[in-house]
Amino acid sequence: MKLKVKTLPLVMTILSGLYLIYVISSENTTLVADAVGGDPGGKLIPSIIAVFLFLGFLYITIKERPVGKKMEKETAVLLALTFVLALLYVVLTKTIGFIILTTIVLYSLEYLYSTIGEKRKPLSAVIGGIGTLIVTVAVYTLMRLLTKTLGRMARAGSLPSAFTSSTLNAVIAIVFVLMFIILLYFTLHKLLKKKGLFRVANSGLITFSTVLLLYVVFKQFFLVALAPGLLNF
């Protein structure tokens, strides 16, 4: 019996499978071990994205059978855009950097998917995206400055040697980020919500929280080599 499937999900499944093969075989993301040890390498996050893309499109291919109705144009465009952004993410991460590129990609997808079927406000969305990027980079910079300063002071003997521990620095960083998440929720998020920009506010806060928490967990707890890119300081 011939299996009937929708064309677009099938094509996206094949492409995401090829993308997974590319991530695994790419020399640019070869597993490495740094001087600290325990670094799973730059392949980890691209591989996770690739696996989720492949499994997601495979599920859609199997479950979503043709029923005489074509896939809505907006849905098809968003699926294609998701795949293109994922490919660009892998190709450009080393140059642009994890923080900047993840913020741009995640904000874009979060806003677009959360506003399916709604009338979008392109100008507000773009301004919200730029604002999210500025705030994320600023808090990231402050966080890095804080942990580096504490480590430098500990090595100089001004603070206990425990502050040279990567685990303690990771805990400090995650508390620092959580404080800013709470601060932004009760200030900027509520202000934008009152102005009728709930989707922009939500997308910005979700993006900010996700990017910085991912950075702390992967970079400082698991010592993954996340590309600094343009923020290499």
Is the pTM above the cut of 0.85?
no
> How many angstroms separate the Cα of 87 from the Cα of each of 16, 32, 47, 49, 233?
9, 22, 12, 10, 26
Helix (H) or strand (E) segment spanning residue 61: helix 44-63
> What confidence score (pLDDT) does residue 2 get?
43
> What confidence score (pLDDT) does residue 1 get?
38
- Percentage of the chain modeled with pLDDT above 90: 32
Closest CA to 150 of 134, 136, 137, 168: 168
